[in-house]
Amino acid sequence: MRRPFALFAGTAALLVGALAVPVPASAADGDGGFTIKDPRIKESSGLAASHLHPGVYWTHNDSDDGPYIYAVDGKTGKTVATVTLSGVGKPRDVEAISIGPGNEIYVGDIGDNLGGTWPYVWIYKLPEPKVLKDQTIRATQYVVKYADGPRDAESLVVHPKTGRVYIVDKKEDGGHLFEGPARLSTSGANIFKPIAPVDLWATDAAFSPDGTKLAVRGYFGGVSYDWNGGRIKRAGQLDVPLQRQGESVTYSADGAKLLYGSEGADSPVQAKDAPGGGDGSGKSPSGKGTSSASGAGGDGLSGTVKTGVVVVVLAAAVVFGLRRLKRR
C-alpha cells in the first residue's frame, strides 16, 4: 500500500539504502534471496513460496495493475510465468498471497486506501498451475466482511493443514488476528472475527509449512508466534531486514528460511533463517532462540544492520515522519 509512503519515499530510500545490507547471492535451491527484475512488478506487496515448483515465488502488485500474479524464479529473479485471473472483478487493493492445502493459491484484495471504510473486501482462490507459462486461470471470488466493521489489512494467511483463512489488520498501535469461517462460501459474505491481538503494525504474515508458527512482519521488525490452535503465543522477534518499504514475508517451502520483500522497482527479497531453522521449535540453529519474547510492541530491529545506534536513530526518524504524515 502506497499511503502514506509516496510522500517520503525518496528520502527514506536514500537513508535506508545507506545502511541496508546487500542481498546475498541466491542459494542453489533459490531460497537464498533475490532481486525481482520484472519492470512490471513495481509494488510487490505479497510473497508465497510455490508448492509445486521448488525455488519459485508468487507475487503481485499492489493497486493499479490488474488481475495478475507473477511466478518469480528465486535463482535469477526473473518472471517465469504471468497468470491472469478470470472470473473476478477489477482488483482494488491487492495486498497478500498465500498457498493452502491442495496447492490452492489465495489472493487477498484486502487493502483499504480509504483507511478502513470499504464495507467489504475480496479474496480470490485459484489452483496453482502445474506448468509455469503465461496463462489465464479461472478464480473463485469471495466477499469478506469483518464482524466489528471495516478496516485496513495487508496480511492474509491460509493454515497449511486446515485450509482456514486468517487476516491480520493493519493498525499503527497493533491490530488483531481475524479468523474466517471453516470454509469460505460464494453465497453471501464471509464474516471474519477477531480472535487474538497482534502487537505490531502488520504489513504481511506467513504460516510455517507445518502450521505451528505464524510470522508477522511490519516495516521495521516482526514477531514469531506459536500457533497453538489459533490461541497465538508470542515466541520471539524476527530478524527482519531494514528495507525501503517492507511489505511481504513468506517461509521457504522447507520452512528453513523466511524471505522478506519490499516494494519498488528492482526490489530485493532477502532471506533470513527462520525460527528453529524449519523444525518448528522456535529456536535458532544455535539453539539460543531468535530474541527475547518479553516486552510490549513488536518491531524488533534487524540484526543485519551493523551500527546499532545509527539504526535506532534512523528508525525513530522514519517512524516520526510516518506518524506526522499519517495524521495529515
311 pLDDT exceeds 80? no
- Report the candidate in 104, 105, 113 with the shortest Cα–Cα distance to residue 68: 105
Q: What is the pLDDT of residues 22-40, one digit of tens each?
A: 444 334 567 899 999 999 9
Task: Place 102 in a pLDDT band, splitting at 50, 70 and 90.
Answer: very high
d(Cα 106, Cα 235) in Å, to the nearest integer?
26
Q: What is the pLDDT of residues 49-69, one digit of tens each?
A: 999 999 999 999 997 789 999
284 pLDDT exceeds 80? no
Predicted confidence at residue 176, as pLDDT, reads 97
d(Cα 280, Cα 216) in Å, to the nearest integer?
15
Q: State the helix-helix crossing angle for 9-19 and 308-326, rounded to 10 degrees.
A: 170
Which residues are 140's β-sheet partners?
125
Q: Retrieve residue 129's grid coordinates.
A: 498451475
Predicted TM-score (pTM) above 0.85: no
Which residues are 226's β-sheet partners?
213, 233
Residue 17: strand, helix, or coil = helix
Q: Retrieve residue 44's grid coordinates.
A: 510487490
Q: What is the pLDDT of residues 187-239, one digit of tens each?
A: 999 999 999 999 999 999 999 999 999 999 999 899 999 999 999 999 999 99
Q: Retrieve residue 251's grid coordinates.
A: 517461509
Amino acid sitting at position 163: G
- Report the candidate in 221, 191, 176 with the shortest Cα–Cα distance to residue 312: 221
Predicted confidence at residue 97, as pLDDT, reads 98
Task: Place 277 in a pLDDT band, splitting at 50, 70 and 90.
Answer: low
